[in-house]
Structure formats: C-alpha cells, structure tokens
Structure 1
Amino acid sequence: MYNTISISTDARGVATLTLDRAEKHNAMSAEMMRELTEAAKALGTDNKVRVVVLTGAGKSFCAGGDLGWMKEQMAADPETRFVEARKLAEMLQALNTLPKPLIGRLQGNAFGGGVGMASVCDVAIGVESLTMGLTETKLGLIPATIGPYVLSRMGEAMARRVFMSARLFEAAEAVTLGLLAKAVPAEDLDAAVEAEVTPYLACAPEAVARAKALARRLGPRIDDAVIDHTISELVACWDGDEAKEGVGAFFEKRKAAWVQ
C-alpha cells in the first residue's frame, strides 16, 4: 500500500507508523509527504487505533527534506514550488491534528523537517546518542513550514537559540529546549515509549481526542492563514539568490559564498 512508510497495529490498538527510507535516512520526498498525509487521515478515522507511535527505520529518525526534491524546487516555477511546499505543510498539519495520541520514538538523528516531525508529536522520546538541528539557513533557506510547530513546542525564547543558527545539538539540550520529553539509552527506548503509551489504553478514546483538540485550540494559533504565510516564506526563499548559492554549494561539495 505504501512505498516510503509502513504501518503495523498490535492487538491493543497501538499503531506504529514508520518512516521507511532507511537508505536515505528517511528524508522526506514528495511521495513520503503524500503517504504520511494519507496515513494520518486513515489512522485518525480507524476506531481500532488508540495510540500512534511515530518512528524511523535505520540509523536516522528523519534527515529532513529529500535533497533531490529540494533540487527540483530550485528548478521549478513559483506555482509549482507553492504546490510542493503545500504538500509538506499539509502533511505536518495532518499529523498535528491527528485525533489520536502521537508518540515520537526517535531512534536516531533528526534534522530540519525531522525536527518538525518531532514537534508535531504529543510526546517525543529520543535516544541519548541522537543529534538534532534546524539546518536550513546553511542552505539559504528557513525552517518555514515546520516553524509553527517548532515554536509551539519550544516557545519563542527557546526556539531562538537554535532556529536561525543551524547549529547542531545533542539529546540532552533537546530535552532542555522542549523538543524531547526525555532522552534515554538506546536499550531503554522501547520501554520509555511504552510508558507513554500505556496510560492512554485506560482512557476513553473520544475524551482523549477532544482533550487533544482543546489543547490545540488553547495553544498557539496554527490556522490556514499561518500555514499559507509559512508556504509563501519558503517559496520566497527558493526564489532568492541565497538558496541558489546554498543548495548549489551543497551539491557541488563546496563552501557557500558566505562561509567564513
């Protein structure tokens, strides 16, 4: 059914949604974005599913946007760029509004859009060895479509520590920043995730869904106007000279003009 993700559901109704492009460090292609959006809708309407665990196959949780997809955007016209950016925005919002608890199981590194994926989880648990980073500005881009979810999770003050600098940070700092609820040794990851899952199995599913919707309603506003603004900001970056230089430098394996 899916090419870039997989879903398995146990007898309790705990569904595991796995990013399944291990050879690409689970970088998000256009196909993965579409499949994740479809999966979120399917899981959200499946009455047998009580909890969803989001994880990745292989060494990385998610390396962010697929570089091939990104390169295609650099060559596309503005209208196509807008359509492609909306695919990413709609995927994130579909996961963010999933009417089931979404538990992040970060078994490896998360960069760029991978940080956004962690941010749409209700709780994210990561291994102590992982590294995270919002690396977009190194490429002349910005963390635009993921921005509302990152800011919602971290708060502005914490986000400004890492939102613009593209610096990498370890799991312990991710906990301090609020991206991860906790960081655990790799051998304890499954037990830590299970500890987050189990309480929901004693809760009324509809009440959980309504409580989650209420929390979103009372939290920072992420509506169509906010999402459209983030899409416009990303497209504007793709149209700019810095993105051409930054993405070009990455593929040519050289330093961008601004690197000192």
Structure 2
Amino acid sequence: MFETISISTDARGVATLMLNRPDKHNAMSGRMIEELMAAAARLAADDAVRVVVLTGAGQTFCAGGDLAWMQAQMAADADTRFREARKLAEALQALNTLPKPLIGAMQGNAFGGGVGMACVCDVTVGVDTLKMGLTETRLGLIPATIGPYVVARMGEARARRVFMSARIFDAAEAVELGLLARAVPADRLMDAVEAEVVPYLACAPGAVAAAKKLTRDLGPRIDDSVIDMTIGALVERWEGDEAKEGIAAFFDKRAPAWAAKG
C-alpha cells in the first residue's frame, strides 16, 4: 500500500503514476523515493501496462527534495547519507530506464528534483503557467543525482544556462530549453498527454521497450560509474558548511550568509 504515490491503470493499459503529497507540494521524502522504486519495478513487470503517465496531485508537480529529509541526511552518519543518496539515484534511474513509455504531465511547478523527474520522462508536457528552476545552489547544494538526466535532456550548453544559477524560468523557456515538449493551457493538458499516449497503443510493446533501450544506449552515458559519481557529489555537499547554512536559513526564514544584501 503506497502512502506518497498512487497508481491506477485504465482498460487500455495506460497507467497513471501520481505523486501524492499535495500538502507538501509533492516534495520527495525518503518514503516517496522508496515507493517510486517499488512503483517502477511493479510497472516494469506488468505486461498489461502499455504506457505510464507521471503526474502530481494538487497545484505543484514536484517541489524537489523534502528539506526535512535533506536536513536529516546532514545529521546522519556517513553510511546513512550514502545509503539515502543511493536510493534517490536508483529511483531516478529506475524511472529513466522503465521499459514502457513514460509521459510527464506537469500540472504545476517543478523545482530541483522535480525538474529531474520531468527529465526522466520520454516526453513531458506541462501547463503554460508553470515555473521551473534548479534551485539547489540557493541552499548550498547542487543538482547532483538528477544531473545526468537534466544534461541528457537539455544538452550541456543549454543546461549551463540554468544549472548553477537557481534562476526561475517560465513554461515558454522550459520548451526552449528542451525540458518540455510543449506547454498548453491547463484545460488542454490531458488532451496533449493523450496525443502522446495514443500512438503507442498501436505499437508492439516489446519493440517499444527495445527501441527505448537503444536510445539510451546511443545517448549520453548514465551507468553505475556516473551514478556513483553523482552520489559522491551529493553527499559531499550534504557534509559541507554551505548546505548546513542554506538549509538552516530556509527553516529560520532568513537569507543565507552568502545572499547579496539590499
């Protein structure tokens, strides 16, 4: 029984994987990360599922990592930090390599890890009012475990425009950056998602899975060595003084020490 996500499947074999912490803006807690791993395994093994749609409950698609969860990692011992960081990295990779088409339906904003969630989808459409941003550096952190998927989606040149600045950008720029295939009015979102889903229902499921694997094999390398490098980079930031100050400042509702005055 899931607590932070839900899965439903229609008669056609179209499954909806919904992030379901609307009161927390679908921020990824330790529990949600574990449940996403379990969901990916379940969906991958279910021959009745032809396509998966990833969306969120409430007004926000995903606000990124749960800050209370990140704060706990900074207070934990080294083994716990590595274990939790690996869970996050493995959940992202499980979704990225899901042997079914994964269609992102962004009904609201995405920040930090939420951008990473959009990038593990094969195609993502969103409402034209949404905002996005890789906001980690404001907290003294970096987009580490999501980094390979963000750079694979945008390419290095476009990623460098937004990867380090924590700048918030709108749906039109998200399309330009390659994060969204298109942005549509909210009342047309599900029509746009349906337009992405329907072609797959005429395709051989095994061929779709093989074609998806081939695109990953031909694309930027995201293997165990890359994932291990991102885990190390994330843990290093968790252990640093900037992350401690950034997270503390967030909970204290004040500007961090490095923020420009005036």
Normalised by the shorter chain, which TM-score bucket?
A: over 0.9
Q: Supply the distance in 1 between the matched residues of 2:49 and 2:166 (Cα, whole angstroms).
A: 37
Please list every run of at least 4 consecutive aligned residues from structure 1 whose deviation after the TM superposition is greater than 6 angstroms: none
| One-letter amino acid of the counterpart of residue 247, structure 2 | V
- Counterpart of 2:218? 218
**Superposed, which structure 2 residues align to 1:131-150 within 5 Å?**
131-150=131-150
Pairwise CA distance, 1:224: 0.3
Structure 1 unaligned regions, length at least 5 = none
- Counterpart of 1:160? 160
**Superposed, which structure 2 residues align to 1:226-245 within 5 Å?**
226-245=226-245
- Counterpart of 1:46? 46
2:107 corresponds to 1:101: no
Pairwise CA distance, 1:240: 0.7
2:5 corresponds to 1:11: no
- Counterpart of 2:21? 21
Residues 158-216 of structure 1: per-residue CA shift (max 9 Å, x gap):
00000000010000000000000000000000000000000000000000000000000
- Counterpart of 1:170? 170
TM-score normalized by the length of structure 2? 0.99
TM-score normalized by the length of structure 1? 0.99
Residues 84-117 of structure 1: per-residue CA shift (max 9 Å, x gap):
1011001000000000000000000000000000
- Counterpart of 1:59? 59
Q: Supply the distance in 1 between the matched residues of 2:244 and 2:45 (Cα, whole angstroms).
A: 41
Pairwise CA distance, 1:79: 1.5
- Counterpart of 2:124? 124
Q: Supply the distance in 1 between the matched residues of 2:256 and 2:3 (Cα, whole angstroms).
A: 34
Query: Identity rate of aligned residues, in percent?
Result: 74
Pairwise CA distance, 1:65: 0.4
**Equivalent pairs, count:** 260
Judge which range, 238-247 or 218-227, deviates more: 238-247
Q: Supply the distance in 2 between the matched residues of 1:73 and 1:105 (Cα, whole angstroms).
A: 30
- Counterpart of 2:182? 182
Pairwise CA distance, 1:68: 1.1
- Counterpart of 1:249? 249
| One-letter amino acid of the counterpart of residue 90, structure 1 | E
